[in-house]
Amino acid sequence: MVDYHAANNQIPSGPPTYMEQENDWDRDLLLDPAWEKQQRKTFTAWCNSHLRKAGTQIDNIEEDFRDGLKLMLLLEVISGERLPKPERGKMRVHKINNVNKALDFIASKGVKLVSIGAEEIVDGNAKMTLGMIWTIILRFAIQDISVEETSAKEGLLLWCQRKTDGLAFNALIHRHRPELIDYDKLRKDDAVTNLNNAFEVAEKYLDIPKMLDAEDIVGTLRPDEKAIMTYVSCFYHAFSGGSEGETAAKSVSATILAKLASDLLEWIRRTIPWLENRKPEKTMAEMQQKLEDFRDYRRVHKPPKVQEKCQLDINFNTLQTKLRLSNRPAFMPSEGRMVSDINGAWHTLEGAEKGYEEWLLSEMRRLERLDHLAMKFRQKAAIHECWTEGQEAMLTQKDYETASLSEVKALLRKHEAFESDLAAHQDRVEQIAAIAQELNELDYYDSPSVNTRCQKICEQWDILGSLTQKRRESLERTEKQLESIDELYLEYAKRAAPFNNWMEGAMEDLQDMFIVHNIEEIQGLMTAHDQFKSTLPEANKEREAIQAIQAEVQKIADYNGIRLSGTNPYTTITPESIDEKWEKVAMQLVPLRDQALQEELTKQQSNDTLRSKFANQANIVGPWIQNKMEEIGRISIEMNGTLEDQLTNLKDYEQSIIDYKPNIDDLESNHTLIQEALIFDNKYTDYTMEHLRVGWEQLLTTIARTINEIENQILTRDAKGISQEQLHEYRASFNHFDKVRGALMAEEFKACLISLGYDVENDKQKRSGQMVSDDFRALLISTGNSLGDAEFARIMSIVDPNNSAFYLFLLSSFKLKRNVDNYLYLALSYCDYFH
């Protein structure tokens, strides 16, 4: 236990130094919360270390001192003096009076209490209470440490100004009680363990209560000085006693000075390698961080060390001066910790610092240049990469394979423009490579990525150059090939058009309906068709030649990988349409035409057979009818036998004609077949069925009329008394002039009339030489017949029913008047059957 009574009678010389601390407290009324916490714990522990001597303690420093009782007890314990008797009342006034007694006692010891009143203590003002306790500690604990005057207190203040790592506490204990501390096992970087070790050893073996928390000291930038001084003062008192007190005070001062020197030298030793580390950083940001660290070193870390060095010099000089004035040996620091050693190390530090600063500025200029070049490189590379994006795909596309000649020419012109653009970008690529080279020479930190990017750009540039050349070659080759194809297309069009027209004309001809009426016409068509077929081989050669042109086009396209558009720009005629039409002509229409012509030939041959058969029959029937007509005429004008004999012969003749009717029917049947076959001509005969039919009808009519006339002649003869001789005379005259066997022409009829005694004037005849109706009428009038127009017309319809102006020697079938003479009888017999 610390004995305060021994120090009570010492009177301090000079002004009380603890007043300075009191003034400091007065100015710092607003405590830092961390400091307040440390003071509360430390002061409470310090008070209890003395109150326990009286068998009591406090728990809450601002509460337990409010009534003044324990405060007066504390002052009695630490001073060894009796204070006035306290008041036992519990009223506020009693408490204030007790606190005032304590404050008056403190003031009686030469302590000036500033701004501390009894009311604040009674009210439990924590700051005022702590300030009062600190004043008590200064007066009764720290002020008493007067070895070599103020050196111990200055040592305490120097201790408090350092952020301890715990080694000093352990060193202090080890200096006086080496058996308690194994100093070599302590680690400088484990401050908490070091502090706890010192606190525990001090509490256990030195009876110094634990007034501080290691965590609060280490975790606070600047621990509370008052708490530290209070705790350290306990070590002075723990090691006090005769010369041991002086040794304690001196040991603390020497230990602190040695510790300060060691720490400063250690800091210099650690700092110089850091300043001499000139390893270049990779980026400006990292270099800026180094500069910022250097500035932080100068702004934050070095000033405290400068202050420590100055304080160390001051303390060392002060200590040496006081030792010299006290006729004591000078303080000799251990080897390597002398002032000259510290000054030398400090000079080395400043030299390293200057070199480091110069190196920093040089490196920053270098990195600034590198950053500028790198940014320039990235900018140019980005522009180039943006320009090259898609160019490779454009150069490798096969668009020309499906393009036409005009499109390929356009692509070639476009490619020429691209080549110009490519040449313009050559400078940028060279600049990029030059910048990359300079970055490498300046040892740019990101040179690998720059080199990789530059290499990629250069390789891509080479690829673009190669692809550009290949595309030009491909375009030029394709252009040449398409020009060849274009020429072939043109030749194809020139030959395909006429050939196509020929095939279309052939298809029209082969599909054209033909109408023939005989074998000659169908044979003519077949001959023409055969001639057409004879041209087919040559036409097929032309077709093959045309298709060969198209095949050559396809061959060129396939060989060179050109995908044709499928259309010929010069014609719409496709090879497929040519083959299709040729197939239709040669394989369909020609055989169909052959078949149709052959069928028509068969038909015409059948028709010709019908013609021949009909002609053979007609050539027999026609002359037969004509012969029969002539025979009838001859019989009618012959004077053989009587009229009755002639009538008998005519009827027999009529029967023979009727018996010929089957031949006519057979001819009609053949004619029906001809009509059904639509035969309209017959080269084998001049007779037509209509002609023969009319002839046959006329033959029947003539024989019937002749028989009728003979019968009428018989009746007339019998009625008129015409003799047989007269009839013979008329016939003889008629037969004399008859040149066509059965009919008289006009001149012949005129001569016949004259021979019978009738003179016909020439002006009464027409230029044709025929006796027309007016001549005949004049003839009747000249013979004494007075005829009106109606009667004459009736007679003409009988003698010339066909208005032929030719007359036969026949008696009229109508009943003549009695006064008709023999000349009328003769005239009425004139008619031309064949007109």
Mean pLDDT within 600-620: 89
Alpha helices in 206-242 (DSSP H): 214-219, 225-238
Distances (CA, A) of 810 to 58, 235, 245, 539, 699: 198, 202, 211, 76, 16
CB 763 within 8 A of CB 740: no
Residue whose structure tokens are 């525990």: 200
811 phi and psi angles, rounded to 5 deg: -85, 140
The distance from CA 619 to its chain's CA centroid, rounded to whole angstroms, is 94
Q: Is residue 631 pLDDT above 50, yes or no?
A: yes
pLDDT in tens, 746-768: 677 677 767 766 555 544 444 44
Other Cβ atoms less than 10 A from the Cβ of 259: the count is 20
Burial class, 224, CB count within 10 angstroms (exposed 0-12 / middle 13-18 / buried 19+): buried
**pLDDT tens track for 56-80:** 999 998 899 999 999 999 999 998 8
When computed from its CA atoms, the radius of gyration of the chain, rounded to whole angstroms, is 83
Give the list of residues 6+ apart from residue 446 with CB closer than 8 angstroms, or none.
282, 374
Mean pLDDT of 448-464: 90
Question: In 3D, which of 361, 367, 359, 372 has the Cα closest to residue 442?
Answer: 367
Q: For residue 330, what pLDDT is reported?
A: 67
pLDDT at 827 over 50: no
Cα–Cα distance for residue pair 763/543, rounded to 1 Å: 82
Q: What pLDDT was estimated at residue 157?
A: 57
Mean pLDDT of 470-480: 87
What is the spatial distance between Cα 812 and Cα 715, in angstroms, rounded to a whole number? 11
Q: Which of 78, 43, 90, 88 has its CA nearest to residue 62? A: 43
On average, the pLDDT of the chain sits at 79
Question: pTM score, two decimals?
Answer: 0.41
pLDDT at 171: 80
What is the average per-residue pLDDT within 101-125? Answer: 88
* DSSP structural state of residue 297: I
Share of the chain above pLDDT 70, in %: 77
Comparing 10 with 463, which gets the higher pLDDT? 463
Question: From CA 495, how far away is CA 481, in angstroms rounded?
Answer: 21
Average pLDDT of the segment spanning 166-194: 82
Pick the residue with more confidence: 602 or 280? 602
Contacts of 646 (CB under 8 A, 6+ apart): 635, 636, 638, 640, 710
Name the more confident of 182 and 98.
Answer: 98
Alpha helices by DSSP H, listed for 302-338, are 302-325
What domains are there in the chain, each with its CATH number? Answer: 18-142 (1.10.418.10), 264-376 (1.20.58.60), 390-573 (1.20.58.60), 593-700 (1.20.58.60), 722-835 (no CATH)
Q: 3-class DSSP state for residue 744?
A: strand
pLDDT at position 503 over 80? yes
Question: Residue 828 has what pLDDT?
Answer: 46
Count of other CB atoms within 10 angstroms of residue 788 = 8
DSSP state of 834: T
Show Cβ contacts of residue 20 under 8 Å, excluding neighbours closer than 6 positions: none
Specify whether the CB–CB gap between 321 and 150 falls below 8 A: no
Q: Both tokens of residue 633? A: 């005429």
Q: Encoding tokens for residue 632? A: 């009838």
Highest mean pLDDT among 570-579, 639-648, 724-733 belongs to 570-579
Q: Write down the pLDDT at residue 776.
A: 56
Say which residue the tokens 């009738």 belong to: 758
Q: How far, in whole angstroms, is CA 399 from its chain's centroid?
A: 16
Segment 234-260 shows an average pLDDT of: 62
Q: Record the tokens describing residue 436, joined without a space.
A: 């990359």
What share of the chain has pLDDT > 90, as a percent? 17
Q: Cα-flanking dihedrals φ and ψ of residue 382, to 5°?
A: -65, -40
Regarding predicted confidence, which is higher, 158 or 686?
686
Can you tell me the mean pLDDT for 149-155? 51
Is 70 exceeded by the pLDDT of residue 149? Answer: no
Average pLDDT over residues 229-234: 84
How do the residues of the chain divide into helix, strand and coil, expressed in percent and rounded to 5?
75, 0, 25
Cβ neighbors of 55 (< 8 A, separation 6 or more) are none
- Name residues whose C-beta falls within 8 Å of residue 121's C-beta, 6 or more positions apart in sequence: 65, 66, 68, 71, 99, 128, 129, 132
Band (519; pLDDT cuts 50, 70, 90): confident
CA distances from 621 to 627, 650, 689, 695 (A): 10, 20, 10, 10
Instruction: Retrieve residue 794's tokens.
Output: 């009736």
pLDDT(579) > 80: yes
Q: Which residue has the higher pLDDT, 559 or 828?
A: 559
Reported as a single tens digit per residue, the pLDDT across 645-698 is 888 888 888 898 899 999 999 999 988 988 888 888 888 888 888 888 999 999
Q: Which of 150-164, 316-330, 550-564 has the lowest mean pLDDT?
A: 150-164
Asked if pLDDT for residue 772 goes beyond 90, the answer is no
